[in-house]
Each structure stands twice: as C-alpha cells, then as structure tokens.
Amino acid sequence: MAVDMKIPAVGESITEVTVGTWYKKEGDQVKMDDVLCGLDSDKATFELTAESDGILHILAQEGDVLPIGASICTIDDGAAASNGAATPASTEPAKAEAPKAEPAKSAESAPALQAVAEPAAAPVATGSSVIEMKVPAVGESVTEVTIASWSKKDGDQVALDEVLCELESDKATFELPAEAAGTLRIVAQAGETLPIGALIAKIETGASAGTSQPAPAQPAPQQTTALSSNGSSQHGSAQPGYAANHPSPAAAKILDEKGVSAQQVQGTGVGGRITKEDALKAQPAPAQTAPAQPAAKPSAPAPAPAASGNREQRREKMTSLRRTIARRLVAVKNETAMLTTFNEVDMKPIMDLRNKYKDKFKEKNGVGLGFMSFFTKAVCIALKEFPAVNAQIDGDQIVYNDFCDVSIAVSTDRGLVVPVIRNAEQMSFAQIEKEIVRLAGLARDNKLTIEQMTGGTFTITNGGTFGSMLSTPIINAPQSAILGMHNIVERPVVVNGEIVIRPIMYVALSYDHRIIDGKESVSFLVRVKQILEDPTRILLDM
C-alpha cells in the first residue's frame, strides 16, 4: 500500500512552496520521520518528513513550485518484501560470473577473481555504516556557505559532537560538529562554496575494519583488469580512485591560472581527488618551456630593464561576507537616488559634559560615557520630527516606523557588520553605552546572530575613529538614510563676533532622494546639530 505525501500547510499566508534539496533519492528505503527534502516558501524553509516506512517514489523535482495540498511523493509500504527478495537475486549474478572468467586463464585467473570478490563482501560482514554530513540550514536567508577551514584531516578518528570544520556565510561563521563517532571522509575541501543541504563529509562508523575495507572495494574493477593483463602486479593499477585527476572547484581554478593540466597532477584527496593544496604545489612541466629558451635569447636584452624588488602577487578568494557586502553596496548605488548633505558640529559642550561626569558615570554604570550615546539620542529625537528619514520603500509603498532601531556600524577583521540597538528612543545613556559595548564585542568575536544584524531603521557610522575628516557614507538598504561621524579637529570659528578655537566635527547625512526631499534631509541634520551643541535639549525634550 502506498502512502501519498502532500504539501502540508506551513503558514497562514503561504499558498505555495518550492521544492528544495531532496535528501533521499528515488527508490531509497526510508523510515518514519526521516527528513525527505526541504520546502522553501517566501518566508522560511521547512523540512518534509516521512509519514511511514517504505520505498520512496518522488513525484516533484527540485525547483518545482507546488500549491499547498499537492502530492510531492509516495511511500510504498511493501519495502520489506522487496528488500528480502533482492538479497538472493543479487548474489546469483556474482556466482554466474566466476565460470566465465575461468577459461581466460586457468590457474592465474582464479586468485584474481577471489581478490575482487572478497572486498565486495567485507563491508557486509563488518556491520559498519556511513553517516552523511550535509550543510545544515544556518539562517532563513542563507542559501550557501563556504568551508573556511577543516579542524580534522581526511581519515582522522572523530568523536560525537567534535568540531570538524568552520562554515562561513555572508552573515556569520558557524561550526560543524560530528554527528557520530568514527572515521572522517572529507568530500568538500576548504574554500569550496556549497548550497544548503549539500554533502560535505562522511563518517564511517562500526568496526575498525570497516574503515580500511571500503577503500579497495572502489577500484576493484581496475584491479581485475591489472591482474588479467599483468598477473604479477595487483596494486599498481588499483592506486587511482574514483576521483583520480578530478580537481575540486578551488583546485580547478588554480590549475587554470597556472596553465597546468589536471592529468599532470597526483591527487592526495579522497579517491585521488586533486585538492587545493595539490594545485598550489603543482608546477608547469619544464620540458615544454626548455626548448623555447634558446630561441628567445637573441631578444633577451629587450626585457632587461625589469623592476627590482619583490613583485610577487597572491590571490585570495573573497569571503561570503565580503561578496555580500560588495553585492549590496553596488545594488544600493544602482537602485537608490542617493545624495549627501553636510554640516559641522561644535563638540565643546558635549566634551565639557563628558569631562565633568565621565568618572561618576563609569563608577555608577560600569561603562564609559562616549560620544555615540549622545549621537544616538540626538538622532532618535530628530527621527520623530522627520519620520521620512526613518521610513523605507517597499514596492510602491512607503513604510513609516514609529520606533527607532538604530544600526551601529562596527569594523571587524572579516569586514563591516551593522548590529542593531532595538528601541533606542526608550533607552537611557547608560543603556545605550552598554548595548553598544555588548554588540561590538559579539561582532569582533564573530558571534553575532542574523537577528541581531537585521531590521534596523537608521544607521550611524563613525569613520572618525580611523581619522576620517569627511566622507559620503552609503545607505544601509533597505533603510533610507545614514549618518556619518568624523574626527574632531580644533579649528578657528567665529562665536559672538570673535574668532575662537573650537573642537569641530563634520557630519554627513546620505539619504535616498526618492523618499526624502532636500528640505527634510537638511532640516534633519540641522536638528541633530542643534541637539548636540546644546545637550540640555535632550533632558528637556526640546
């Protein structure tokens, strides 16, 4: 009897889903609650689990869009009977092949046939199993990850929950723990980019013999050929595995750049696969370039005035985070009407206030009083008066936010990240400073979650910490504006008809002209300037 599996209702407003990656294949034996495939909606990704034991028959392929309630696969309950019948049937052809091989070489072929037959039966006797490790779902909007580095090597013994490698997405870095104890077999090398659900490694569990016997079982057909044509050598032709002379994507790119053929490289990976390290060590064949040298000697004086010193180059693959930053910045430049307006702020009132109360502030709250809390409070007050600066465009609609989720740009070794201070308009100076310290620490330790970096309504970035005098910051989409802070420099200014020296900071507001008019942008920045130059306005809400 076949069980008809249908698309379940996965959300109140979701009417259709897209079939993601199938984790099982057509005809596979599945068990109750086994994960069969992933279902992608416009809001999240869901897993489809088996409703019974049996043989899987797939009706919809990856990428198909199905409505809720549509049939996606069936599970045949008669799996046990079919499996039981398959065992004797599969052994009969093996027995039938032996008489065919005997006339070829009477005495010499018999040992050869035994050598081939024994590895095939060995894995069944050990009772070992193979656990497939796949790329887990690490976030709602994350579709692929890059293998940053392997903590273990191919063939290492690993324990349950031991960290195998680091996976790097465009948002954060994750660790991949072992799902079982056993021998690690690496499938994807460091530097490769894999989609969610892709096979990354295998773990061979069970008896220790199970780790060594599957290796000769793969090249068994090649070993038979070697014994038939050259009876004295059993191991020479069996050395290349199923992936011999096949480079990984990262290795293939390096070989192309070097102009080296994959056939010239001896792979050290699983099954003879050419790894990234093999490609880096590979060198072009010197025999091909040697004849060309004498012919080129007459023209050798031409390139003589070569530049001296170290002129080596190196290439590094862009991280997922860097690729995402690049893609989003280009999209913002292309999809928004971005302009920047400037002003300057006399920082003396804030600096005097800080110098007067910073020691008592730190003693009471356990955190220092910085400039960022003043700017955050000033921005929140100005955003209430100019709601368009706190809004964003969604299709043909403008979404206005009655709250201020302020994103704070933080520079890390991996790139710029922008964690969010939620409801900053309701927070005190101490609460803002503590939240900034907490989020900045998580960012530098690569421990920020996706939720902590999404959903902001306005962004503040401080290039002044690196010495920037003036800049035009780029909008953090889908937000509509960003405030840029810069370094503080003492300059001569006119105050009450007299020239005095004051600490001045240039501030810049980049905004999307599609939603924010010039009058609003300039007025917003002037309002921020007024509040910062007279901080008592924050206390009096003026």
| Residues acting as catalytic residues | 513, 517
Instruction: Count Cβ atoms below 10 Å from residue 523 Cβ, excluding itself.
Output: 16
Q: Is 432 helix (H, G, I), strand (E, B) or coil?
A: helix
DSSP string over 173-223: EEEEE-SSSEEEEE-S-TT-EEETT-EEEEEEESSTHHHHSHHHHTTHHHH
Measured between alpha carbons, how far is 485 from 150 in angstroms, rounded to an integer? Answer: 40
Q: Is 459 helix (H, G, I), strand (E, B) or coil?
A: strand
Measured between alpha carbons, how far is 520 from 87 in angstroms, rounded to an integer? Answer: 78
Measured between alpha carbons, how far is 1 from 79 in angstroms, rounded to an integer? Answer: 10
DSSP tag of 312: -
Instruction: Count Cβ atoms below 10 Å from residue 387 Cβ, excluding itself.
Output: 13
Across 41-56, b (16+ Cβ under 10 Å) vs e yields beeebbebebebbbbb
Q: How many residues does the chain have?
A: 542
What lies within 8 Å, CB to CB, of 187 at 6+ separation is 199, 200, 201, 202, 270
Which element (helix H / strand E) includes 382? helix 371-385
